[in-house]
Every structure is written in C-alpha cells, then in structure tokens.
C-alpha cells in the first residue's frame, strides 16, 4: 500500500499503469542483518521499502564504510551501477526486519517500453539520487559534524535510533568516539 501511495503522487499515472508496475515486483520480508545484494557485480535490482532500513556499504581494505541508509517509502538502488551496468562496489543489507518489493532491471526496462511515463519517473528518481549525493558531498565539505548529524537524524529520528552508532559514524566519516561527543553535546552533557 505504501508503494501505491508513493506512486499516486505522480498524477500522470493511471490505475492501470500503477497496477501493472506493482505486478512486476516480488514482495519479500527479511530479518535484520540479511545481505540482499553482494558487491562486485552489476546492480540489476530496484528495492521499494515498505518498512525497515536497508544500509548500502562498501568494504575497503577490510574496513566497513556506510554509504547510505534507505528507509520507509524509498527506493533503494545503486543508480550508477544500475544505469551503467558497471560492477557495484556496494553491499546492501537489512538493518532491521525489512519488508520490501524487489523489481528486476529487465522488468523495469520492459515497463519503460510498455508505459513510457515510467521512464520519466525513473529519470526523476535518478536526478533526485544525483542531487542527494551532491548535497551530501557539499555538507561533508562545508558543514561541521554536529550539523551533518542533525541533518541526518532529522530525516526520521525514530528510525535512526535503530541504526548502530558505528554505522552512523562511518556514514558521517568520523570515528565513533567523535560521534559520541557530538551526541553528548546535543543531549546537553559536557565532556
């Protein structure tokens, strides 16, 4: 139902188009800490999250770096790999029990042929992903840690309570101790 609500925001979509799109997906429910995509191959899936959290991360020299947290009512995808068919450096795992609908790239491309309006929707989603990445880079270069942390948790404060702090620290590009100091400062404690 969340996906239907999400799609209904796009007034141009007919009931027939939405129903057809929904029919292409496979709904899955996974336990926390389930790997749903392995790196080093092209990202050929698109996940719509009904409930839960999916984390995209990289492994570099054995170190785990959080790249993005996808939450309710969002599509989770490595757009660069999805569009270029290059191998993705990212792993995708559920952080909480997660219900999502999975679409194959093959089905998405046939959807574009059958209903070209979805190609426009895909372009809008890719543009939003690009803008989000550009904003994250800008914040990392110009905002201090406290500001970056507050912006991150403002997306959905309750959900981010479920994410281990070392993942959030990794996403923000700092050590967990630095994040702990900022959280204590925000909570009004002194170090």
- 111 and 173 in a common domain: no
- 166 and 91 in a common domain: no
pLDDT of residue 189: 58
Q: What angle do CA 186, 58, 56 make, to 5 degrees?
A: 65
Tell whether the model's pLDDT for residue 139 goes beyond 90: no
Q: What are phi and psi of 7, to 5 degrees?
A: -70, -30
pLDDT of residue 1: 58
- 179 and 102 in a common domain: no
Tell whether the model's pLDDT for residue 14 goes beyond 80: yes
- 179 and 94 in a common domain: no
Query: CA-to-CA distance for 151 and 159, rounded, in angstroms?
Result: 14
CATH number for position 60: 2.60.120.10
Quick one: average pLDDT of 117-123? 86
* C-alpha torsion sign, points 22, 160, 153, 70: negative
- 191 and 108 in a common domain: no
60 lies in which domain range? 2-134
- 90 and 13 in a common domain: yes
Cα 164 to the chain's mean position, in Å? 16
- 186 and 98 in a common domain: no
- 118 and 61 in a common domain: yes
Tell whether the model's pLDDT for residue 41 goes beyond 60: yes
- 21 and 113 in a common domain: yes
Tell whether the model's pLDDT for residue 185 goes beyond 80: yes
Single residue among 93, 110, 134 that ends a domain in this structure: 134
Question: What is the SS3 assignment for 13?
Answer: coil
Quick one: average pLDDT of 1-8? 74
The number of folded domains in the chain is: 2
């Amino acid at each position: 139902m969340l996906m239907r609500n999400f799609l209904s925001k796009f007034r141009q979509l007919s009931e027939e188009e939405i129903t057809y799109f929904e029919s292409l997906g496979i709904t899955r429910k996974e336990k926390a800490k389930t790997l749903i995509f392995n790196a080093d191959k092209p990202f050929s899936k698109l996940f719509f999250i009904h409930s839960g959290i999916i984390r995209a991360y990289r492994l570099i020299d054995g170190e785990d770096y959080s790249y993005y947290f996808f939450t309710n009512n969002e599509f989770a995808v490595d757009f660069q790999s999805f569009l270029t068919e290059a191998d993705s450096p990212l792993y995708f795992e559920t952080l909480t029990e997660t219900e999502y609908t999975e679409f194959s790239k093959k089905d998405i491309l046939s959807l574009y042929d059958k209903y070209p309006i979805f190609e426009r929707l895909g372009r809008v989603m890719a543009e939003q992903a690009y803008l989000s990445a550009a904003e994250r880079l800008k914040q990392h270069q110009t905002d201090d840690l406290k500001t970056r942390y507050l912006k991150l948790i403002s997306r959905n404060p309750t959900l981010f309570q479920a994410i281990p702090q070392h993942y959030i620290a990794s996403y923000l590009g700092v050590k967990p101790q630095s994040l702990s100091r900022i959280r204590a400062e925000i909570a009004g404690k002194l170090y």
